[in-house]
């Protein structure tokens, strides 16, 4: 494949040190420390209102920090204007000029900055090739699909040769199918340009598939930073465990019981080895991912967990069963291939204790 002519040239790392942001008396970001390597793809995830956009805007310089420092490359840009930071940002609403052609929209920023016409045309043409927009350069935004419009917005950012690309939920206005397509496009773009990308989303599938590194935010604080697989396999707490993964991890309130057992309602499961087992009677929460159940014979154990099937979602390669445990807790499990679990069916349920997660009452992971 031919290498694209559009190139960021110098991907820059980003470092955030002790960043705080308040709007009036309301603190929305607290002590954010983060190191992003040059060329890395970092995704900020978290529930609505947790501060993702604000953090991105602090990096862009669209908001002033309350305290702390922002470095891009080795340079402290905390006091710099957005236009002097070597960044380009793509927003959820792409805000194209309706009366301008695709080419004019993409070149607008360069024209405003006084670039020569021929150079603008070259850059626009290069960006259009990367984004597969070459055939659409003369169209108006109104004549494009949502995905094509979002590509124009990305093109408008690419022509500026940024060191760091910032995206704030760029795909959330697209329908499901287009989102998947654009997700792959953005991955390809990242690979081809080799540029640092920081991407905000509340869609954890997007986060898992795009990121080298995910930053999970909650209420203005970093909960955990790690590669997608680290967060999935090794979450620090119940919040991260529940946020990463789809369908989500199952959580069962439980109590440490006698004889190395854990009580889940009136069911019992064998406790896995614990370095510091909580005292008998301590309330804990069990976390089990849908793929970590086993179904079938429990040797007539009267205390076995059971699963009452409510409905099954057949997805071709896999199926998910939704239902409740015998003691009424909502439960989702991935059904083994070929196993039919009809609605109303009750089956003994075992937990593969190698993967059993245990959380303390404060949500911190014990195991």
Ligand X SMILES: Nc1ncnc2c1ncn2[C@@H]1O[C@H](COP(=O)(O)OP(=O)(O)OP(=O)(O)O)[C@@H](O)[C@H]1O
Give contact residues for Mg ion (rule: CB under 5 A).
Answer: 53
Choose the stretch contacting ligand X; rule: CB under 6 A; options: 50-58, 153-161, 226-234, 263-271.
50-58
CB of 52 to Mg ion, least distance (A): 5
How far is the C-alpha of 71 from the C-alpha of 359, rounded, in Å? 36
Choose the stretch contacting ligand X; rule: CB under 6 A; options: 49-57, 136-144, 242-250, 343-351.
49-57
The alpha carbon of 126 is separated from its chain's Cα centroid by a whole number of angstroms, namely: 30
How far is the C-alpha of 262 from the C-alpha of 287, rounded, in Å? 13
Identify what 329 binds: Mg ion, ligand X, none; CB under 5 to 8 Å per kind: none
User: Binding to ligand X by residue 285, rule CB under 6 A?
Assistant: no
Is the dihedral angle over the CA atoms 292, 295, 297, 300 positive or is it negative? positive
CB of 53 to Mg ion, least distance (A): 3
User: Binding to ligand X by residue 60, rule CB under 6 A?
Assistant: no
Contact pattern for ligand X over residues 176 through 205, marking x by CB under 6 A:
--------------------------x---
Closest residue by Cα to residue 288 from 272, 266, 309, 310 = 272
The DSSP 8-state label assigned to residue 10 in this structure reads: S
Contact pattern for ligand X over residues 2 through 41, marking x by CB under 6 A:
---------------------x----x-------------
Rounded alpha-carbon distances, angstroms, from residue 65 to 16, 51, 222: 11, 13, 17
* Residue placing its CB nearer to ligand X in the complex, 53 or 347: 53
User: Binding to ligand X by residue 43, rule CB under 6 A?
Assistant: no
How far is the C-alpha of 33 from the C-alpha of 54, rounded, in Å? 15
* Residue placing its CB nearer to Mg ion in the complex, 53 or 267: 53
Judged by CB under 6 A, the residue of 49, 116, 181, 344 near ligand X is 49
Judged by CB under 6 A, the residue of 11, 12, 53, 197 near ligand X is 53
How far is the C-alpha of 10 from the C-alpha of 161, rounded, in Å? 9
Query: What's the angle, vertex CA 146, arms to CA 101 and CA 4, rounded to 5?
Result: 65
Query: What's the angle, vertex CA 317, arms to CA 311 and CA 318, rounded to 5?
Result: 35
* Residue placing its CB nearer to Mg ion in the complex, 55 or 356: 55
């Amino acid at each position: 494949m031919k290498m694209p002519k559009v190139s960021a040239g110098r991907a820059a790392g980003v470092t955030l040190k002790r960043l705080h942001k308040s709007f009036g008396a309301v603190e929305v970001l607290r002590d954010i420390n983060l190191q992003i390597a040059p060329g890395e793809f970092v995704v900020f995830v978290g529930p609505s209102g947790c501060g993702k956009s604000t953090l991105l805007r602090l990096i862009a310089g669209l908001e002033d920090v309350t305290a702390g420092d922002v470095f891009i490359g080795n340079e402290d840009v905390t006091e710099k204007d957005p236009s002097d930071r070597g960044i380009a940002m793509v927003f959820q609403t792409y805000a194209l000029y309706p009366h301008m052609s695709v080419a004019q929209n993409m070149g607008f920023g360069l024209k405003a900055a006084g670039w020569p016409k021929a150079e603008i045309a070259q850059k626009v043409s290069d960006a259009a090739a990367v984004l597969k927009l070459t055939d659409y350069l003369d169209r108006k935004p109104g004549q494009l699909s949502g995905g094509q419009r979002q590509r124009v917005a990305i093109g408008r950012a690419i022509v500026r040769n940024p060191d760091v690309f910032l995206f704030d939920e760029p795909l959330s206005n697209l329908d499901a199918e287009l989102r998947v397509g654009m997700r792959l496009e953005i991955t390809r773009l990242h690979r081809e340009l080799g540029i640092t990308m920081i991407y905000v989303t509340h869609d954890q599938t997007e986060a898992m598939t795009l990121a080298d590194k995910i930053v999970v935010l909650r209420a203005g604080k970093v909960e955990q930073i790690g590669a997608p697989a680290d967060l999935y396999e090794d979450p620090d707490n119940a919040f991260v465990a529940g946020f990463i993964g789809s369908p989500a991890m199952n959580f069962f309130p439980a109590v440490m019981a006698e004889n190395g057992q854990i009580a889940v309602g009136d069911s019992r499961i064998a406790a896995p080895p614990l370095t510091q087992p909580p005292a008998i009677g301590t309330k804990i929460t069990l976390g089990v991912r849908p793929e970590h159940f086993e179904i079938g014979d429990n040797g007539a154990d009267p205390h076995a967990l059971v699963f009452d099937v409510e409905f099954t979602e057949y997805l071709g390669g896999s199926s998910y069963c939704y239902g409740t445990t015998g003691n009424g807790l909502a439960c989702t499990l991935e059904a083994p291939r070929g196993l039919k679990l009809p609605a109303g069916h009750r089956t003994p349920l075992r937990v593969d204790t190698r993967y059993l997660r245990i959380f303390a009452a404060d949500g911190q992971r014990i195991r």
